[in-house]
Amino acid sequence: MTGTTVHIPRLETERLILRAPAMSDFEPFMDVLETDRSAFVGGPTPRRQSMRGFGHVAGLWVTRGYSLFVLDRRDAPGAPIGMAGPWHPVIWPELEFGWSLWDAAHEGQGFVTEAMRAIMPWAWDTTGTDTAVSFIDADNPRSIQVARALGARPDEDMTEEMNEPGSPFHDAEGARVQVWRHRKEALQ
């Protein structure tokens, strides 16, 4: 049997280590997806679905050559605080820059913005594109603030399209997704 070798880079910032997902991240990932903390990423979800979600994150590294990085604080390695990076499931219309912090205690400290400022240049080079989106729930002001800080701007046309029936983001209960457009030259 031959295996597939995938190179997942390790990026570092002043306060963070951005690394490949590891089996030790599985339980913290599943734990957060079972709570209301995961509402903006499709949760809460049962453990079986969370298990598949974790496999999806890891699998995109093999099938696309990029996916979400796990975020570790440099002062607490091995205790992941979230994920961030390029994300492009098969049903997504294009590349997304996504992020999530797993504990509210880490919000408001600039961790996601810091991580994405390191990840985005790598992602532009790796994916060969110069534009991406972030699909953000209209009720998630913190993620909207991050998108703005990274230089993204609202994409009104795609926002309307993603809220139509048949879109992977259409919510029959009325929740709306906003589409924020990132451009390579606009990274702040």
Domains of the chain are 11-186 (3.40.630.30)
- Phi/psi region, residue 22 (left: phi>0; alpha: psi -120 to 50; beta: rest), is beta
Q: How many C-alpha atoms does 63 have within 13 Å on its Cβ side?
A: 11
Judged against a pLDDT cut of 80, whether residue 70 lies above it is answered with: yes
Query: Looking at residues 154-166, what average pLDDT do you find?
Result: 94
The strand order across the sheet containing 96-101 reads 11-12, 16-19, 69-73, 80-87, 96-101, 131-137, 177-183, 153-154
- The C-alpha angle with vertex 4 and arms to 126 and 91, in degrees rounded to 5, equals 55
Q: So what's the pLDDT on residue 31?
A: 67
**Whether the Cβ atoms of residue 148 and residue 136 lie closer than 8 Å to each other:** no
pTM of the model: 0.90
Q: So what's the pLDDT on residue 44?
A: 54
Q: So what's the pLDDT on residue 52?
A: 78
> pLDDT per residue over 23-53, tens digit each?
888 777 776 656 555 545 565 566 666 667 7
**Interior/surface letters 151-176, b for 16+ CB within 10 angstroms, e for the rest:** bbeebeebbeebbeeebebeeeeeee
